[in-house]
Chain A
Amino acid sequence: MSNQVNENGVSRRNVLKGAAIGGIGLAAGGTLLSSCGSDAADGPVTFTARTNDETGLKIAQALADAYTAETGNEVTMQGSGDTNAFQDGISQYLQGTPDDAFQWMAGFRTNFRADQGLLVDVSENISNLGDQMPEGFVSGATNPSDGKQYIIPTTWYPWGLHYRKSTMLELGLDPENIATWDDFMKLLEGTKSKGLIGYAMGDKGGWEAMGTFSILNVRMNGYDYHIDLLNGRAKWTDQETIDVFNQFALLIPYMNANFLDISWDGMRDLLLQKKCGAMMMGSWWANDFLAKSQEDYDDLWIVPFPEINPAYGRDSIDAPVDGVCAAVNGTNPAGGAAFAEWCGSENGMLAAQAAGDTSLYANTRLDTSGYDAFNKQKLAVIGEAKNVMNFLDRDCRNDFAGTIVGPAIQNFLKAPQDVNKIVDGMQAAWDALPPLS
Chain B
Amino acid sequence: MTTTAAGTTTRRRRAFSKGDRFTLAMFIGVPSFLHFVWVWIPALLTIGLSFTFWNGVQLSNIRWAGLANYETIFTASPQFYDALRNNVYWLLWFSFIATPLGVLLAYQIDRRIRGHKIYESVYYIPVVLSLAVIGIIWRFMLGPAGLVQVLLGRPGIEEALPIFGNYDINTYVILSIASWRHIGYIMLLYLAGLKAVDPTLREAAAIDGATEWQTFRKVVLPAMKPVNIIIIVITVIESLRAFDLIYIIYGTSTGWPILGMLVFTNIYGQAASMLGAAYAVILFLLSITPIVFYLRTVFQDDKP
Contact = CB atoms under 8 A, between A and B. Distances in A.
A408 B58 contact: no
B271 to A, nearest CB: 4
Interface in B232-257: 250-255, 257
Interface string B252-278: 111101000000011011111111000
Nearest to B167: A414
Tell which of B167, B253, B275 has the most Cβ of chain A within 10 Å.
B253
Contacts of B75: 428, 432
A403 B252 CA distance: 9
A131 to B, nearest CB: 34
A260 interface: yes
Given A260-B162, A275-B158, A402-B252, A116 B76 contact: no
A407 B254 contact: yes
B171 to A, nearest CB: 13
A90 interface: yes
Interface stretch (B37-45, B49-57, B97-105): B49-57
Contacts, number: 148
A428 B76 contact: yes
A259 interface: yes
A205 B253 contact: yes
B84 to A, nearest CB: 15
B65 interface: yes
A316 interface: no
Nearest to A117: B58
B255 A266 contact: no
A260 B77 CA distance: 21
A206 interface: yes
Interface string B269-293: 1111111000000000000000000
B157 interface: yes
Contact of B58 (A116, A206, A261, A414): A116
A101 to B, nearest CB: 20
Interface residues of A, number: 55
A4 interface: no
A224 interface: no
B164 interface: yes
Given A116-B57, A205-B251, A407-B257, A261 B270 contact: no
A95 B164 CA distance: 37
B160 A403 contact: no
Interface in A401-428: 401-404, 406-408, 410-411, 414, 422, 425-426, 428
B157 A270 contact: yes
Contacts of A407: 78-79, 253-254, 257
A109 B269 CA distance: 11
B72 interface: yes
Contact of A266 (B157, B266, B272): B157
A92 to B, nearest CB: 8
Q: Is the interface of A mostly helix, strand, loop or mixed?
A: helix
B55 A116 contact: yes
Q: Is the interface of B mostly helix, strand, loop or mixed?
A: loop
A197 B272 CA distance: 38
Interface string A248-275: 0000000011111110001001100101
A428 B275 CA distance: 15
Contacts of B161: 258
A399 interface: yes
A61 B273 CA distance: 36
B162 A403 contact: no
A275 B253 contact: no
Given A261-B164, A425-B78, A435 B265 contact: no
B65 A434 contact: yes
Given A273-B156, A402-B252, A261 B71 contact: no
B270 A118 contact: no
Interface in A103-118: 109, 113, 116-118
A193 interface: no
A196 interface: yes
Contact of A402 (B71, B78, B164, B265): B265
Given A90-B269, A91-B55, 5 more contacts: A206-B253, A260-B166, A402-B269, A432-B76, A434-B53
Interface of B: 53, 55-58, 61, 63, 65, 68, 71-72, 75-79, 143-144, 156-158, 160-167, 250-255, 257, 265-266, 268-275
28 contacts: A84-B252, A95-B57, A116-B57, A118-B57, A204-B165, A205-B251, A205-B253, A207-B253, A260-B164, A260-B255, A262-B160, A269-B157, A275-B156, A399-B55, A399-B275, A400-B271, A407-B257, A410-B253, A425-B76, A425-B78, A426-B78, A428-B78, A429-B76, A432-B72, A432-B77, A434-B273, A434-B274, A437-B63
